Chains A and B, each alone.
Chain A
């Protein structure tokens, strides 16, 4: 028996842009931890400077990605599963990078 035709769910471009931008913002915030650790440990930047700067940069990136994708995908419909999985993968990576796990592997590292 032939398998029934499966219709893919779609998201409008505006909603998809919000989801992907959230993933990108969280990934950037997670990335702030290893980058900040490198700045503080290797470049001797003060932790009170490194973290706020990197956080502000991550927020700026979130806004830029949201506005750019919102404009580019305004008239498009995107496959919902792909968008949600992409955003989910970025969020998971961001959460993982944001943990202080590297301090257990490199005890001499300074986290901002």
Chain B
């Protein structure tokens, strides 16, 4: 039977990676076409941001709750607290909700601008890139931990 960590990564983590990548592509386009906003926000876009925000909170918080309240259900025989990847994931992974909430707020706020400042676009794109980097790293660290790699 697959471990809880594996199921968590596949069922919740994978959709988060896909949605984050899609939103990185979207934020890279914000402000480049003037005026970039025409009428109401499409329903698909709203659903993507809502899904991303939900997963950005649910995935790290549920992972952390499982890791720290019942480690025996989370850890595999190969991946234990001797792996440096777990504290690393606990630290960087919890940054994802902050980064993505800020991005969602800024993307929403961008609607009010007729001309987006270059530094605004740089900040938004960098934050979304950071979010994607962290979720990809978390996936890598999770795989390494389950394989028993990255021990002290």
Contact check, A21 vs B120: say whether CB atoms are below 8 A apart.
no
Contact check, A88 vs B126: say whether CB atoms are below 8 A apart.
yes
The reply on B53 being an interface residue by CB < 8 A is no
Q: Which of B68, B87, B90, B130 contacts A91 (CB 8 A)?
A: B130
Chain A residues positioned under 8 Å from B106 (CB to CB):
15, 18-19
Contact check, A26 vs B123: say whether CB atoms are below 8 A apart.
no
- List residues of chain A with CB under 8 Å of any chain B CB: 9-11, 14-15, 18-19, 21-22, 25-26, 29-30, 32-33, 36, 47-48, 51-52, 55, 58-59, 62, 80-81, 83-84, 87-88, 91, 94-95, 98-100, 103, 107, 111-112
Q: Which of B68, B95, B105, B127 contacts A98 (CB 8 A)?
A: B95
Contact of A111 with B98 at beta-carbon distance under 8 Å, contacts A80-B120, A84-B119 already known: no
Contact of A95 with B92 at beta-carbon distance under 8 Å, contacts A33-B87, A107-B152, A111-B84 already known: yes
- List residues of chain B with CB under 8 Å of any chain A CB: 64, 68-69, 71, 81, 84, 87-88, 90-92, 94-95, 98-99, 102, 105-106, 109, 117-120, 122-123, 126-127, 130, 152
Q: How far is the CA of A58 from the CA of B71 in the complex (A)?
A: 22
Contact check, A29 vs B95: say whether CB atoms are below 8 A apart.
yes
Chain A residues positioned under 8 Å from B123 (CB to CB):
19, 84, 87-88
Q: Is chain B's binding surface mostly helix, strand, loop or mixed? A: helix
Q: How far is the CA of A56 from the CA of B126 in the complex (A)?
A: 25
Q: Which of A32, A52, A94, A99 contacts B68 (CB 8 A)?
A: A52
Q: Which of B71, B88, B98 contacts A25 (CB 8 A)?
A: B98
CB distance from B106 to the nearest CB of A (A): 6
* Chain B residue at smallest Cβ distance from A92: B130
* Chain B residue at smallest Cβ distance from A24: B98
Contact check, A9 vs B91: say whether CB atoms are below 8 A apart.
no
Q: How far is the CA of A9 from the CA of B116 in the complex (A)?
A: 9
* Chain B residue at smallest Cβ distance from A49: B68
* Chain A residue at smallest Cβ distance from B119: A80
Q: How far is the CA of A98 from the CA of B92 in the complex (A)?
A: 6
Q: How far is the CA of A94 from the CA of B106 in the complex (A)?
A: 21
Q: How far is the CA of A59 from the CA of B130 in the complex (A)?
A: 18
Contact check, B71 vs A48: say whether CB atoms are below 8 A apart.
yes
Contact check, B119 vs A11: say whether CB atoms are below 8 A apart.
yes
Contact of A15 with B120 at beta-carbon distance under 8 Å, contacts A21-B102, A98-B95 already known: yes
